[in-house]
Structure 1
């Protein structure tokens, strides 16, 4: 009998050394809205996607309080679909960006003095007494800078000491910013932009793999639409797979520290993404994708 492909087919990683998660997870950004500025998605479909993701072995969900459109919010959907949460489910969130009710996306950084309130907001919305993993995210979509993040990260480190946060992460950061954060408290995960067609962050990925830090790329499928790349399409044809599946399998094959969190508002795409956990690429495939062969 053929083993059913699940999120666990991609193998596992221990976040912070003690939270075991499947390397194929789920990102909640697209649950409330499919496209930037578009209408809110169907609530019932979003709830079904979350429940089906867990059925397929997903035990790592990435979210944020600023993932919302109108009255539909990712945190509320997660709580409605999955609470009381199954044992072993890890929910990660991020704080730092500010987004007002009329903004299509975060437009700035909240003051350091508001970070605690944002963590408490995530706790309330998710119905948790602590958060498994909280990322500090400075900056927007421009490349990460080297501005100091220590003061802001120290606030989250204090909340970790209080027991409100189990593990800390940083998102959209440079190597220097990661090093600064690690001087203050342990960092369990880095969430930066990365896909196999845009591997500009390879050096930081190598630092994470060396030091036991998970690397969790956002926009693992290219971000605003799948990239049109002949290299990906050729590998996909060779395996009878989709472009999205090759992009995800390529990430997972690059490093054991890589955790994938593809998001979707489509039940069919969820099934497709999870199936990528069972796709095994060859060294020749990876060389073709990364331009090294």
Structure 2
């Protein structure tokens, strides 16, 4: 399932993080990239310079990243993450895996504020196909709910609609996001689940049981907010001893913790800054010790 390339002197930073077979047939490096912050720093913030976004994406692949996570609704005005990816990277390399999400609907203010029904998902998948410029999507997550925590609703009808699109050949692998164990089981009863994307980081470990289930089933666990974004930011003071020992930043230490925590964890830190990108990719050089993991609460 995983390999460790840490001792390869010629390996790219992403390759140093090891690899994982996504869906059992797509090899990806465990340190990837999230595209959410390319159009804007936050859902309420101004649009970023698209030329900078293109430069970041081209540097992403130069650093060896072959797993990019995006969504059609990652946009601010005329700056759209999927279109930046297409401009920067098409024609895509054979080893590049692009994951996307469907489910949220954009409100009039451009912020996701509703959920698509089963009959609306085909249109959202087709939007992603067009904007990315591909005939088939590598991985599509059903993103459930809003900004609240997972659980409390059935996902069967919506996941079944995506499973039909998979059978048609529009989607290679399916994932689910912002879900609990019951929703994972509900999805697995319909079609194979290749990945789960939930909130998880060094100081937000509420989903350890779901992570264990993913380990058991060979499912990738891909945390959103791996650096503590959203509502549960990382407290840097709690990590000071470990960061100092490795001469690392808080972001690098948090990403190194994810890579050490479980072989099925895939990190997708996002940024619209070339400097932050280089910093994040530096996490692959860090090898946390059992002492470090104990200090960080593992």
TM over 0.5: yes
- Picking from 195, 198, 201, the partner of 2:204 is 198
Other structure's SS at 1:231 match: helix
CA separation in 2, counterparts of 1:112 and 1:268? Answer: 41
Partner in structure 2 of residue 30 of structure 1? 37
State the alpha-carbon separation in 2 of the partners of residues 75 and 193 from structure 1: 22
Find the counterpart in structure 2 of residue 12 from structure 1: 19
Given candidates 136, 140, 148, the residue that maps to 1:130 is 136
User: TM-score, structure 1 length as denominator?
Assistant: 0.96
Structure 2 length as normaliser, TM-score? 0.94
Corresponding pairs, count: 290
Q: Any idea what SS the aligned residue of 2:45 has?
A: coil
Contact 1:99 1:107 in 2 (8 A): yes
Question: How far, CA to CA, are the matches of 2:25 and 2:234 in structure 1?
Answer: 35
**Post-superposition shift, 1:277?**
1.3
CA deviations 1:129-181 (Å, max 9, x no partner) are 00000000110121111311000000000000000000000000000000000
Judge conservation of contact 2:53–2:84 (CA < 8 Å) in 1. Answer: yes
Match of 2:103 in 1: 96
Distance, in Å, in 2 between the alignment partners of 1:226 and 1:7 is 25
Matched with 2:252 is 245
SS of the residue corresponding to residue 91 of structure 1 reads strand
- The aligned counterpart of 1:161 is 167
Deviation at 1:210, TM superposition (A): 1.1
Between 221-230 and 255-264, the greater mean CA deviation after superposition = 221-230
Distance 1:40 1:212 in 2: 38
After superposition, the CA RMSD in angstroms is: 1.4
CA distance in 2 between partners of 1:62 and 1:10 (Å): 17
Q: 1:249 to 1:12 in 2, by over 3 A?
A: same
Partner of 2:123: 117
TM-superposed deviation, 1:44: 0.8
CA shift digits 1:177-213 (9 cap, x unpaired): 0000000000000000000111111110011011100
Higher deviation after alignment, 29-38 or 17-26: 29-38
Q: After superposition, what is the alpha-carbon deviation per residue over 1:108-129, rounded to whole angstroms, capped at 9, x for unaligned?
A: 1022211000000000000000
Gaps of 5+ in 2: 1-7
Q: 1:232 aligns with which of 230, 233, 239?
A: 239
Moved segments of 4+, more than 3 Å: 1-5
Contact 1:26 1:261 in 2 (8 A): yes
